[in-house]
């Protein structure tokens, strides 16, 4: 590792932070250290970094805006890659929206609305990055990424830069081809439609008001913890089981929305995992349904 550290320090691959605590980079405010956190600013830096890691058989994990993930208390071995400010930009051309992989999906939806473009209103409450949204085919309010996705530039685990059109992405419910083919989205293009700015703004405002009333937006959470089972809602099942407010350590099932787990201040990853297990066991016994996590659990256990 020392030899690799020396090589990387001499390579133009962006900022490097060794033994970096990750809790401050996640919306749950939970997570141990990464062996090294890299923050490339260009696709060339990213490709070079991944090529070096690949050549030395060093595993790597991508960290977006830190939502929808639980990082273990022991942290992540190998490298963690977080796209820098160079990937945080957007441009609009006609009815197309183009954005870098690290850009806030919420911010992109707001900018699109100001341009009078409709189709991204559903993204107003999804706290991840554009790249993360593409990776998991993020969705809300009856829509998702697959409905507006046109193409993306992706750096694969070999360091190769490829271009994927919509038909290459294998989109499904909270799924894309990137679940099986490791890569990082550096740029995505979305096909939108021209609309009325006032109507777009009103729709986004109504979604925002609904989130404010139903979700614990002021607490440290990772969004919805479990996928909705076919024909039902995870939150309804959890609430009906009387689990709202149930707590293990510093982790608590939100009293406002039963499919959210809040870090009340000192929660560990093990607290959250234990609470998730409690929910799954209760719903399986009570309803015969296996709740599938929507959050990704990462790191050394």
Catalytic residues: 174, 224, 294
Cα end-to-end distance, the chain, whole Å: 21
Could you give the CA distance from residue 165 to residue 171 in angstroms, rounded to a whole number?
11
Could you give the CA distance from residue 127 to residue 221 in angstroms, rounded to a whole number?
11
Query: What is the rounded (10 degree) CA torsion for 172, 176, 180, 185?
Result: 180
Q: Based on C-alpha coordinates, what's the Rg of the chain?
A: 20
Could you give the CA distance from residue 253 to residue 236 in angstroms, rounded to a whole number?
13
| Sign of the dihedral defined by the CA atoms of residues 239, 244, 247, 253, in that order | positive
Count CB neighbours of 301 within 10 A.
10
Query: What is the rounded (10 degree) CA torsion for 86, 38, 293, 252?
Result: -100
Could you give the CA distance from residue 17 to residue 79 in angstroms, rounded to a whole number?
10
Could you give the CA distance from residue 262 to residue 253 in angstroms, rounded to a whole number?
6
Could you give the CA distance from residue 225 to residue 296 in angstroms, rounded to a whole number?
9
């Amino acid at each position: 590792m020392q030899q690799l550290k020396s090589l990387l320090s001499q390579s133009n691959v962006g900022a490097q932070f060794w033994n970096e605590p990750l809790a401050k980079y996640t919306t749950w405010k939970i997570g141990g250290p990464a062996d090294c956190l890299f923050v490339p600013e260009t696709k060339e830096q990213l490709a070079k970094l991944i090529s070096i890691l690949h050549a030395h058989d060093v595993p790597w994990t991508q960290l977006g805006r830190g939502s929808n993930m639980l990082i273990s208390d022991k942290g992540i071995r190998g490298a963690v890659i977080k796209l820098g400010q160079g990937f945080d930009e957007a441009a609009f051309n006609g009815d197309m929206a183009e954005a870098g992989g690290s850009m806030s999906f919420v911010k992109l939806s707001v900018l699109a609305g100001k341009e009078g473009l409709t189709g991204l209103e559903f993204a107003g409450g999804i706290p991840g990055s554009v790249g993360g949204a593409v990776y998991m085919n993020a969705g809300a309010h009856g829509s998702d990424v697959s409905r507006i996705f046109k193409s993306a530039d992706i750096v694969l685990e070999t360091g190769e830069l490829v271009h994927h059109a919509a038909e290459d992405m294998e989109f499904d419910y909270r799924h894309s081809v990137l679940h099986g083919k490791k890569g990082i989205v550096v740029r995505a293009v979305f096909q939108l439609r021209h609309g009325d700015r006032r109507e777009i703004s009103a729709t986004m405002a109504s979604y925002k008001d609904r989130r404010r009333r139903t979700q614990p937006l002021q607490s440290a959470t990772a969004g919805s913890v479990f996928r909705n089972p076919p024909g039902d809602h995870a939150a309804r099942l959890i609430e009906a089981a009387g689990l709202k407010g149930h707590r293990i350590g510093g982790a608590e099932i939100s009293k406002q929305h039963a499919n959210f787990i809040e870090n009340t201040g000192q929660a560990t990853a093990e607290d959250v995992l234990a609470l998730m297990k409690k929910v799954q066991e209760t719903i399986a016994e009570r309803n015969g349904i296996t709740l599938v996590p929507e959050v990704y659990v990462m790191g050394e256990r």
